[in-house]
């Protein structure tokens, strides 16, 4: 039944950079959801990712190709502007998540939720040392907005699903800094739920990204959360 609903309402937005090893598998899982459309934003790709996406024939794709890297998470804003469905599911091409693990995010939005984010436990014992400040930042942002029970769940982490109304309430241009988008969502008391999911094959990031770039990415995430805290501290206009 849900597939019929997906066919009429679901837009899947996928960001692709250097993901030739995983992008086809991600599209395959996306296709299994039978969405209304799949919006693919390919940017700054220097490997065979674009070739792979263009050769994919499983599902209707709308592919936006930028010859330069848009920067972290800018593809989310680009994709959100092009999506036409009632519910949008954001996926990273570097991270393969099985279709049946993705459907709960979408289902949550069909059943009255505004945003469905991935559950994340924030335990000082479990989290890796370099990730820890970011996890603390996520936890703090949720607590600051009276949603401590969300723990470290964040729109920073993919996948997440959002309804079109919620997205327009936040403003798609804020999607490029996910922590700010989340801060606005919680400030506006949108219904944010966290979904427990298993991501079995994290084949992308850990293998491809160098430790230096990974550390840089963590600092960017931390900066995003500081930007969100600063945003919340601004006096209301």
Partner 1 sequence: MDATHDVQGLLSVIIPTHDQARNVERLVHAVKQVTPGAEMIIVCAGLQPHADDISVSYVWGAKVIAAESNASSSECRAIGAKHATGSVLLFLDERNGLSQACYKKWIAKVQQGYDVVMCADDFGQAKTKPGSVRYAFSFLNQLLGHRQFGSASLEKAPFILNRKALETIDFRALCIPAVALVKAVKKGLAITCEPIERSARKRLPPSQALAKPKSVLFEEHARAIHMLLQDKNERGAMPDGERHRILAQETGLLHLRSVFYQESDDKEADGWGAKRKERTKRIRKRAQRHKRRPH
User: In which residue are the tokens 């964040």 written?
Assistant: 154
The span of 59-67, 161-169, 188-196, 199-207 binding partner 1 (CB under 8 A) equals 59-67
- State in angstroms the smallest separation of the CB of 164 from partner 1: 17
Q: Is 84 in the site for partner 1 (CB under 8 A)?
A: no
- State in angstroms the smallest separation of the CB of 79 from partner 1: 10
Binding test (CB under 8 A) with partner 1, winner from 86, 99, 187, 199 = 99
How many whole angstroms separate alpha carbon 223 and alpha carbon 205? 20
Which is nearest to 99 in space by CA: 15, 29, 161? 29
Nearer Cβ to partner 1, position 73 or 94?
A: 73
Going from the C-alpha of 196 to that of each of 104, 118, 121, 126, 159, the distances in angstroms are: 9, 6, 10, 17, 11
Which residues contact residue 70 at a Cβ distance below 8 angstroms, ignoring those fewer than 6 apart?
Answer: 41, 43, 44, 78
Binding test (CB under 8 A) with partner 1, winner from 100, 111, 188, 201 = 100
Which is nearest to 198 in space by CA: 138, 140, 119, 139? 119
Task: Give buried/exposed letters for 86-124 (b at 16+ CB in 10 A, else e).
Answer: bbbbbbbbbbbbeeebbbebbbbbbeebbbbbbebebee
* Bridging pattern class, strands 37-43 and 10-16: parallel
Q: Is 45 in the site for partner 1 (CB under 8 A)?
A: no
Binding test (CB under 8 A) with partner 1, winner from 46, 65, 201, 202 = 65
Is residue 77 a contact partner of residue 10, using CB atoms and an 8 Å limit? Answer: no
Q: Is 148 in the site for partner 1 (CB under 8 A)?
A: yes
Q: Is 211 in the site for partner 1 (CB under 8 A)?
A: no
Q: Is 140 in the site for partner 1 (CB under 8 A)?
A: yes
Q: How many residues bind partner 1 (CB under 8 A)?
A: 65
Q: Is 169 in the site for partner 1 (CB under 8 A)?
A: no
How many whole angstroms separate alpha carbon 83 and alpha carbon 205? 26
- State in angstroms the smallest separation of the CB of 183 from partner 1: 11
Residues that bind partner 1 (CB under 8 A): 1, 3-4, 7, 31-32, 34, 54, 56-74, 77-78, 81-82, 99-100, 122-125, 132-133, 136-137, 139-140, 143-144, 146, 148, 172-173, 176-177, 216-217, 219-220, 222-224, 226-227, 229-233
């Amino acid at each position: 039944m849900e597939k019929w609903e997906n066919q009429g309402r679901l837009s899947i937005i996928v960001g692709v950079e250097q993901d030739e090893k995983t992008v086809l598998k991600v599209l395959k899982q996306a296709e299994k959801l039978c969405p209304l459309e799949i919006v693919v934003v390919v940017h700054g790709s220097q490997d065979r990712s674009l070739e792979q996406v263009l050769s994919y024939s499983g599902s209707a794709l709308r592919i936006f190709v930028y010859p330069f890297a848009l920067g972290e998470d800018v593809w989310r804003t680009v994709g959100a502007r092009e999506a036409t469905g009632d519910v949008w599911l954001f996926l990273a091409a570097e991270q393969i998540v099985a279709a049946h693990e993705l459907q709960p995010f979408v289902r949550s939005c069909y059943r009255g939720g505004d945003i469905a984010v991935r559950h994340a436990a924030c335990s000082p014992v479990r989290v890796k040392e370099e990730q820890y400040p970011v996890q603390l930042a996520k936890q703090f942002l949720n607590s600051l907005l009276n949603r401590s029970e969300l723990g470290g769940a964040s729109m920073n982490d993919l996948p997440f699903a959002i309804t079109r109304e919620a997205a327009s309430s936040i403003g798609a241009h804020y999607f490029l800094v996910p922590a700010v988008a989340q801060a606005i969502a919680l400030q506006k008391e949108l219904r944010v739920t966290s979904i427990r999911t298993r991501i079995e094959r994290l084949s992308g990031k850990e293998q491809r990204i160098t430790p230096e770039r990974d550390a840089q990415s963590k600092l960017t995430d931390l900066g995003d959360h500081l930007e969100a805290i600063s945003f919340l501290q601004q006096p209301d206009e």
